[in-house]
Amino acid sequence: MVAPLRVVVTDPIVARFEPLFRSLSPHHDWHFAASMAPAPQLELIAEADVLVCARLSAEQAAATRAGLVHVTGSGTDRLALDRLSSGTTVARTAHHERAIAEHILMVILAAQRRLLEVTAQLRAGSWQTLATDPQTPLHRTLAELTIGFVGLGAIGTQALELCGSLGARCVAVRRTVPEELPPRAAWVGTMDALPRLLSEADVLVLCVPLTDETTGLIGSEQLAALRPGAVLVNVARGPVLDLAALHEALDSGRLGAAALDVWWQAPEGMQAPEDTRRLANHPRVIATPHYSGHSNDTFTRRVQEICANIDGYANCLPVRNAD
């Protein structure tokens, strides 16, 4: 029998799945507080046995008595963890790997086939193909591409396997080389092998976490080392890539395209930052608002895992993905 707990949910995204939360764990006392004003929300947070959130301010962290704080994603950089009580269990969840892997594949194909460019041409009434303009570029199939992955965690591994299964040659670098390599990887090296990867890559995919070591990892020197016309995909964090160097590489034509799902500044509500708007208007940029993992499957699985962890915590069982 699961002991009933007072569970407070402040993340507005997973709050959309309130019926699923309640159906999976009906015995708990659920409070969905995402739309509440700050003061009454803080009161609920202070009284919670379990807090489910994506953000946690220092004030909220200091106020809560929750024994379990369950983050609704894989990152904790927006939580004031240092203000939580020392005995608080913090758990994370992911399940976005497949969705992001499919996004990576989608933007690689869109860039190779100049999808945005040819759509704009047709909207303007111009029918440009080899039949009407012999200078029209030919696109390449996946089997003609070498895709280089910088970072080979769960996301990079899924994307590598997906692209490799469709014929792409895939190479990767990561902090340490695993004993068992992904079956479809041509080679995997440590970060010291980054120059080799850049020299071979038709497509560069960034999927490393943001750390002191990875901030500014890809700058002018690294972009210049890529094959001419290479495609860059960033699903990591904006600052892994040097912003000024990216602009220069795009404007000069050295980069054939950039597909960006992560950025350098956070939006103000629904207002995109100036840097984001400027890049999104570049003809060689495919721009998305950090939504590559936002599939129904991602959040359904997250809710399922969160509920299972809350039930386990209530019965003094181990909590999965706990720090």
Alpha-carbon distances, residue 302 vs 16, 70, 74, 209 (angstroms): 12, 11, 10, 20
Which amino acid is it at 216? G
pLDDT by residue (tens digit) across 284-306? 999 999 999 999 999 999 999 99
User: Quick check: do 6-95+296-314 and 97-287 share a fold?
Assistant: yes
Q: Check: CATH 1.10.287.110 for 6-95+296-314?
A: no
Q: In what order do the strands lie in the sheet with 29-32?
A: 29-32, 6-9, 50-53, 68-71, 89-91
Residues 152 and 182 sit within 8 Å (Cβ to Cβ): yes
Contacts of 246 (CB under 8 A, 6+ apart): 223, 232, 255, 258, 279
Is the pLDDT assigned to residue 1 strictly greater than 80? no
Question: Would you say 269 and 146 are in contact if contact means Cβ atoms under 8 Å apart?
Answer: no
Other CB atoms within a 10 A radius of the CB of residue 145 amount to 21
What mean pLDDT value characterizes the chain? 96
Query: Above pLDDT 70, what percent of the chain?
Result: 99
Segments making up each domain of the chain, as ranges? 6-95+296-314, 97-287
Q: Cα separation of 208 and 218, whole Å? A: 11
Q: What is the mean pLDDT of residues 263-268?
A: 92
Between the alpha carbon of residue 186 and those of residues 57, 147, 176, 177, 182, the distances in Å are 44, 10, 16, 13, 9
pLDDT band at 90 (very low <50, low <70, confident <90, very high): very high
CA distance 71 to 131: 54
163: three-class secondary structure by DSSP: helix
Residue 62's pLDDT band, with cuts at 50, 70 and 90, is: very high
The CATH architecture to which 97-287 belongs is: 3-Layer(aba) Sandwich (3.40)
Q: Decide if pLDDT at 80 tops 90.
A: yes
E strands, the chain, are 6-9, 29-32, 50-53, 68-71, 89-91, 146-150, 169-174, 185-190, 203-206, 230-234, 255-260, 285-287
